[in-house]
Structure 1
């Protein structure tokens, strides 16, 4: 059976999931609330399912709605790819982009983004330059790099243009027999009562736990910066809980991802920044846009 759901309806649905409110979603889409509501009703009628639980405030998607949302995001993403591919054929961009990175190890999302970017812009060569984390700004000051990507525990250079790339949820990974599995989300209070070790591979996450007064029965275990595989291995062996940014969840298998919980940090999320030497560089603008688009599609949870 064929369905006829428009791209406009899909965009409305994504906005509705983002704001959980018809009025705010309509404002985001620059349409009236009755128009957006009518289109959502038509979309549900076309698919023959209920996508939105309107009895809740803020509203929530049904289980079917959540699955449909995942597919819609991919469709919209592929549609954008189509338009981008056509534009690139009409107006090809070429050149070299020097990307400064603060570690010899790059996260998988960055490696995947580079592959994704190359598929659309094979004429642009990306060169990765290793930067000392304590001297992030010097690469731009000396024009060794066009852009530098840094995480939230590093200060972006004051002598460059800085933008927030995206924010990540902080997730909690645990084995099935942990009592915290019964909760939808976990917060500091829950961890304070936890009787197990807490592993992480990020100094700032460890400091946040310390500042919040989280004292487990055993200890907070801070592994070398970025060694998330070691932290996850400890969690798999039942040695404790693991706090990690959402982008590192790719190291988990399908069943383990289902056991992930969002950890509720007050006014804190794991952030990635981009510092660049020129606002008007079309290559930098193109790369930044593709990076944001790529990461949003592969989130497990909604944006923090």
Structure 2
């Protein structure tokens, strides 16, 4: 059993990691605005507070999943978003170095521009938006100053949500319920269940232990646009899929890569991979929200 500290424990991915790893590890969850016991309320922008948490708990692993993940919000307040995604990670990395704790940093496929997919772990980042830039910048900092850190790149996520608008995938179902019929049919995505990400991280910790370092790619394998996802969810919801079509380009949205498929060359060789069927998984996630 390892002692694991987890930031973003109240978020979409953090909740899944906390639930999965909490069954067989000593896990300390950190949150902020939504933190309720047993989650500890912590201001990650307060460096003194972060060091005190490390000094008190002395974790073996720190999984850093707290971040602003909405690319459009970076354009609204870029300084605050980049501070959270970059400066906070540097502070946590300093603590991990001082207290001999393994840092697992959650990054994104948006560090790539989407022009030469699939991307393996050695591919050179070239982000199109500020969100991807903040993650790429943080990755570079960790690789230069804290090379023992593990960087886990993931794609767009879905999972158990408190409301349908909580993830970029389940929000499609919310839009369908409100009569929206046009969805992006250009950018290709690889929607991945947070439970699967949590399971892979757990397996990686168990397999590699403290030797886990460098870049890892974790992703489901099914390629689809938002329109493809909308059609699958519409069928589950009893909505006519023939009424759905591609949406016109939105010039006000932050630029997204067309295809930033992650190619896993490290975990798959250890038998650690994701084979979940999107239709089955999303049906289970939508069920409690469609019965209300």
Please say whether Structure 1 and Structure 2 have the same fold, judged by a TM-score greater than 0.5.
Answer: no
Structure index of larger Rg = 1
Query: Quick check: which one's strand share is greater?
Result: 1
TM-score norm. by structure 2 comes to 0.31
